[in-house]
Amino acid sequence: MSSKTWVLKLAACIAAGTSVLATAPAQAAVAHDGSTQTTSTHTGKARAQAASSGDPVAHRACTTGDAGASGGADIYNWHGPDSTLNVKLDLADGKADGRYAAIRLLVVGMDGSKVQSHWNKVSGYGKHKEGWGPVKYKGGINHIGVQVATFKGSRMMSYCIDLGEAD
């Protein structure tokens, strides 16, 4: 599968409903019986910017374990809360079970506000997807991370979260 640019413009991605960030511990895989809907704005060009950024400042990753989804984010240019970050997301589906793997970026602002990007999906054993996107949050970024999940239709079956401050 060819690389695809994913958009992570978080100012337009404020979550509808209850946020997963408020209750889920970092890197914990848990069963879940609902889903969260989000919206996003599409743009891209962070790949070239990140190529000149050196090593990632932070890495976030987790797996849903036996459910088969794994993913992560390499975060570049995180030099302060108001930085425009360049983020590379990676996602893989490790099971041929009719479910799909999904990943989204999570941000906690300096004021405690919680924001998430849209879900990026891949389905099928051994399928892999990666993409680049710029991230800037007008309230400043305090924590950033990923949520990786498995879905059957629109129902979230399991998920994990890795969320933290700049390393």
Backbone angles phi, psi at 132, to 5 degrees: -115, 150
Mean pLDDT of 144-150: 97
pTM (global) more than 0.75: no
Token code pair at residue 40: 């996003």
Mean pLDDT of 11-30: 32
Amino acid 11 reads A
How far apart (Å, rounded) are the C-alpha atoms in residues 92 and 110? 31
User: What pLDDT band is residue 73 in, cutting at 50, 70 and 90?
Assistant: very high
CB atoms < 10 A from the CB of 34, how many?
10
Q: How much of the chain, in percent, has pLDDT values that exceed 70?
A: 68
Token code pair at residue 118: 């849209």
Dihedral class, residue 57 (left if φ above 0, else alpha if ψ from -120 to 50, else beta): alpha
> Can you tell me which residue has the tokens 């930085």?
83
So what's the pLDDT on residue 79? Answer: 86
Q: How far is CA 37 from the centre of its chain?
A: 14
State whether residue 41 is helix, strand or coil. coil
| Nearest alpha carbon to residue 14 among 142, 108, 146, 131 | 108
